[in-house]
Amino acid sequence: MMDQETLKALALETLQSPRTAADKIIALALNRDILWTALFLVAAVNSIVYSFSLLLHDASALPSFLTNPLIFFVIVSGVLVMSVHAFYWMGRAAGGTGDLGDLLALMVWLQALRAIAQFVLFVLTLLSPVLAQLFSLVVGAFGLWITVNFITQALHLRSLLHGLGVLVLAAVGLVFGLLLLGGLIGLVAIGVPANV
C-alpha cells in the first residue's frame, strides 16, 4: 500500500509527467474487482462534493435529476463505466494493444484527483468566486492533458495524437449513445413503443 507521501509525490508527478506516473500506477497491477469498486467509490465522493457545491448556487434552474445526489451518482458512475469501455474499444480500433485493467487503474486515479480538485474548487468558491473560476479552467485543461496521456500510455498507442483521436471519437460515441438512450427513454415514458 502507498503511504500519504508517496500518493502526494504520485499526484505531483501526474501533473508534471503523466506518462511516467501512468507507468507507476500500471505497475501496481491492481485487481480489477478492486478497481471497479474504487471507480464507484470515487464517483460517490465526487457526487457528495457536487451536492455540497449546489448549496452555494441557485439550483432551481437545473433539471431535477442533477439536484438529486443519488441520481447524480448513478449518472456519474454510468458515464465513467461507459467511458472506460469507449476509450478501450476505440483504442483497440486505433491499433492499441493495452489492457482494460491498466486503463481502468489510470481512470480511477484520475477520478480520485478530480474529487480532490472538486473539493478545492468548493473551498475556493467560498473564498473567491473569481479564483474558483480560474482554478476550474486550469483543472479542465490539466484533466484533458492527463486523460490523453493516460489513454496513450495504457493502450500503447503510437502517439499523443492517436490518444487525442481516441478521446474525441469515444466522446462523440458516448454523446450519441446517451442521446439515443435518452430519446428511447423519453419515448417509452410517453407511451410510444421503442421499436417505432
Max distance between CA atoms of the chain, in angstroms, equals 58
Residue 28 is given by DSSP the state: T
- Which pLDDT belongs to residue 189? 47
Q: What is the pLDDT of residue 88?
A: 94
Q: So what's the pLDDT on residue 60?
A: 65
Taking CA atoms, 99 is separated from 18, 33, 112, 115, 186, in Å, by 18, 15, 20, 25, 36
Question: What pLDDT does residue 164 have?
Answer: 94
Predicted structure pTM score: 0.85
Report the pLDDT value the prediction gives residue 175, as an integer from 0 to 100: 86
Low-confidence ranges of the chain (pLDDT < 50): 187-196
Quick: pLDDT tens for 115-137: 999 889 988 988 888 998 999 99
**Cα separation values, 165 from 11, 127, 158, 159, 178, Å:** 25, 38, 11, 10, 20
- The CA-to-CA distance between both ends of the chain, in Å, stands at 53
CB 97 within 8 A of CB 77: no
DSSP of 54-104? HTTS-GGGS-HHHH-HHHHHHHHHHHHHHHHHHHHHHHHHTT----HHHHH
pLDDT at 65: 63
pLDDT of residue 26: 95
